[in-house]
Chain A
Amino acid sequence: MLQRFRKLREAGVLGMNTRNAGIIMTFNPRSRFPLVDNKVITKELAARHGIPTPVLYGVIKRHGDIKKLDSITEGRDSFVVKPARGSGGSGIILVTEKKDGAFFTQSGKKITMTDLIQHITDILSGIFSLQGQDDSAIIETLINPDDVFASVAFQGVPDIRIVVYRGMPAMAMVRLPTRSSDGKANLHLGAIGAGIDLASGITTTAVHRSVIVTDHPDTGNPVSGIKVPHWEKMLLMAARSLEMTGLAYVGADMVLDRDAGPLLLELNARPGLAIQMANRSGLLKRISRIDLAPDEAFLTPESRVDWAQNHL
């Protein structure tokens, strides 16, 4: 057993205890957490730092503002309604069509304006935030996922997670929805995680429910060897999270839109450890390498991406 401990250490695997006590507590000041917990704030910050996010149609913060919904959705056929503090994808409605004054979701379910108002009321009351705080509803543009992952995603929108340490992209993966994950890009629920080579932006190995896989279980297509478009831009967006939030260890979640390109969805101050399995590589190894980087490598987001691509 001790030998297995040593192997983990040699592989530079980051364990839960080191992540919590050694990294998050040291590098992520508690006071900055609200910046990433509320997606409205994250969006505002991102805009200030030139990081694209899905186009915001409007935010409803108070029950009194619900009447603005009409003007927000005016002339739009598709949009997304989601809670600013939601987690795990709960409380999100994707409207894909508008016909005769009623809305329709992707699956064809009809939603009237009254339904939508009721849903927003629920969001504002904090039903989808686990701690029950008052919440705001975000209405933003619907993502049209880029076709690059079409062959290896079962419904849903694949998202790209880049773990950033001290502003340097340390590791990346793409999460591909499967039938068993119910179209959600959530590894716990059975989505595939495929590692991405930082230098080339090409997918490498993949993991599905902690088993190494090569093909997507539903589509049967190989998940490795896919070149992610706009890769450099995505790395740069992720690297800017340091200036944006002051958090030195974050997971940046992004999507690739067919027209708008990479968009930042949210930042996570406690990114999980599964990314290591997807890449078959230890995070701690990369973190300690980043710690040895020369000071000038940390100066700008561009220099950080450059260093990471050449050295990790």
Chain B
Amino acid sequence: MRRPALVAAAALMLISLVVAAYKVFSLGYPLVPSAPVYVWNLKFEGVLHGVGKNTLLLLSLPSEEHGQIVIEESIGSGNLSFSLLKEYDNRIGVWSGKTDERGEYISYRASVLFQHKGATVPRPPPPGPYPQNVSVEDRMAAMEMTKEWLLLNTPSRLQTVLRFLKKSDINKPGDNNIARLEEALTKYDNLTRLLMLLTAVNIPSRTVEGLSLSEGTTDRTLVWVEAWTGQRWEHIDPARMEGIPAKSLFIPLSAGGMSAVRTSGGELTQKRFDLHRSIMSRWLPFLERVNRSGRFLDRWSLFRLPPEFQQTFRILLLVPLGALLIGILRNIVGIQTFGIFMPVLMALSFRSTGLLYGLTIFAVIILIGYMVRRYLNRLKLLLIPRMSVLVTLVIFCFTLLALIGNKFGFREFMAVGLLPFVILTMTIERFFVVVEEHGMKTAFQTALGSTVVAVTTYLFIGWEPLQITFFVYPELMLFIMGLQILVGRYTGYRLSELVRFRSFTGDG
């Protein structure tokens, strides 16, 4: 009787291990997909309207010179011709040709991998020339004024320049030079002032244009200044004259003062940059670059899904694990839960509300629902209308919560989403039935059990290394299935039965 189950379980586990082993040993998959590596999917699009015969669009593209590895890129150029150009450190895509009256839709897509700090040592450039529009007298004034600062080490020199430009620390009032310099500076914009002073104090610097590294869509690029302090590039926001914390990241597109998007003989409208993050282990960029078409299993990898669906599957692949967990907690430990999958669904909905709010919302709505259900019992309604009333109640509560959340600024109250209303309705009904048939105590035990299982599941499915493991090796689901079959054949005592039958073990 036990045999066929054991055989099935063993077969499933074996298949999953064989596939995984093939991936590891033959395809060079990482055995332990460690910390996730993010791949940024950059998309640029716009409509180019030409006025003359030859319209040009120059777009700075991500490049290795900027510490980016382009894994994949594709260009949409319509009727225009496209070519690549190298301009100093910048890689530039050039669209050229004649556009029709309605304009030409052009697009660029790339999957970009960021090299982490230390992956490439940036080359220290020579101190740059003064910006071209700065007059010779002003250059002299700047050099004269900042002579003493040259004695400081590079980082403090940079700080002094920034403090000076912020006008927060002028320690020699009345000094002629300073007055002259201040007067000279007023002629220029922030960016020029900064570059000018950095050049004067011998700090290599450059202007960089790019995008802030955060998911979303934008139509504007950012401009910042990078100053070389001896070990690394310090990022400076020229608008505020402050260093940008190292942890905020950017995708540089164009360095050296050139604009990232330039047109000639035409105009670009509906310009937008789109950034999306997807996850990738270390091996894949390598694999993609070396072997773009890939082997069969690579081509059928979940990484080939569009990034917006990848996220769903990362969670989805852990649901079987959650189900296994419920099997273990119910059949081996003996925790009572409402329904079979209700805790898993609860855990999923906690992902949008967060644990604390989620639990509170569940508890409050179930209590309200229970009161209403008690009252409904006296009305003796038919099953389906009765459940309809409860669904309406639950959604009414959601609406109230959202309005309250909006009023008092609790985002989580609005994030209840679509998922949990069915579970909540069923749970109210189950709670009521359990109270009626087994008493309040059992009902609360069951509620507690459901909570324990839901929280455990929530912690499991939120664990990133586990998500990645299953994402890289979806075949592990078969292994889980095998374990599920084994749990299904566990006919031993439940841990809870040690307590229930304690009168037989002699210590109760």
- A residues touching B (Cβ–Cβ < 8 Å)? 1, 4-5, 7-9, 11, 13, 15-18, 21-22, 26, 87-88, 90, 122, 125-127, 130-132, 186, 188-190, 207, 210, 212, 273, 276-277, 280, 282
Contact = CB atoms under 8 A, between A and B. Distances in A.
Interface string B474-508: 00000000000000111111100110110111110
Given A188-B442, A276-B501, A132 B492 contact: no
A188 B506 contact: no
B504 A17 contact: no
A167 B369 CA distance: 45
Contact of B437 (A188, A212, A282): A188
A149 to B, nearest CB: 23
Given A8-B504, A21-B489, A188-B438, 17 more contacts: A8-B501, A8-B505, A13-B501, A15-B494, A17-B492, A18-B492, A21-B490, A26-B1, A125-B382, A126-B382, A126-B383, A127-B380, A127-B381, A188-B437, A188-B439, A189-B438, A190-B439
Given A127-B382, A127-B383, A280-B503, A15 B497 contact: yes
Nearest to A276: B501
* Nearest 3 Cβ contacts at the A-B interface: A132-B383, A15-B493, A11-B504
B46 interface: no
Contact of B493 (A13, A87, A132): A13
A212 B503 contact: yes
A8 B439 contact: no
Interface in B242-300: none
B436 A88 contact: yes
A282 to B, nearest CB: 7
Contacts of A280: 503-504
B334 interface: yes
Contact of B497 (A1, A8, A21, A132): A8
B55 interface: no
5 contacts: A7-B505, A15-B491, A15-B494, A122-B380, A276-B501
B334 A7 contact: no
A132 B489 CA distance: 32
Interface string B430-460: 0001001111001000000000000000000
B138 to A, nearest CB: 84
B383 A18 contact: no
A16 B334 contact: yes
A181 B306 CA distance: 59
A92 B469 CA distance: 56
A8 B493 contact: yes
Contacts of A18: 491-492
A130 B433 contact: yes
Contacts of A15: 491-494, 497
Given A15-B492, A18-B491, A5 B498 contact: yes
Nearest to B498: A4
A26 B491 CA distance: 13
A185 B285 CA distance: 69
Interface string B199-219: 000000000000000000000
B119 interface: no
B486 to A, nearest CB: 12
A6 to B, nearest CB: 9
B505 A4 contact: yes
B331 interface: yes
A104 B338 CA distance: 39
Nearest to A5: B493
A277 B501 contact: yes
Contacts of B1: 26
B331 to A, nearest CB: 6
B504 to A, nearest CB: 4
B384 interface: yes
A41 B490 CA distance: 35
Contacts of B498: 1, 4-5, 8
Given A5-B493, A282-B504, A21 B488 contact: yes
A9 B505 CA distance: 10
A7 B506 contact: yes
Nearest to A10: B504
Most chain A beta-carbon neighbours within 10 Å: one of B433, B438, B493, B494: B493
A13 B501 CA distance: 8
A214 B438 CA distance: 23
Interface string B93-134: 000000000000000000000000000000000000000000
A10 B208 CA distance: 78
Nearest to B506: A7
Contacts of A26: 1
Contact of A13 (B433, B438, B490, B504): B504
A125 B501 CA distance: 40
Nearest to A128: B380
A90 B497 CA distance: 29
A212 B503 CA distance: 8
A4 B504 CA distance: 9
Contacts of B439: 188-190
A58 B381 CA distance: 25
Contacts of B506: 7
A190 B441 CA distance: 12
Nearest to A18: B491
A15 B504 CA distance: 12
B167 to A, nearest CB: 73
A132 B501 contact: no
Nearest to B493: A15
Contacts of A5: 492-493, 498
Nearest to A88: B437
A189 B438 CA distance: 6
Contacts of A21: 488-491
A295 B54 CA distance: 101
A196 to B, nearest CB: 18
Nearest to B495: A1
Nearest to B438: A188
B504 A7 contact: yes
A17 B438 contact: no
A143 to B, nearest CB: 22
Given A126-B383, A127-B381, A90 B503 contact: no
A91 to B, nearest CB: 9
Most chain A beta carbons < 10 A, residue from B381, B442, B503: B503
A294 B506 CA distance: 34
Contacts of B501: 8, 11, 13, 276-277
B338 to A, nearest CB: 14
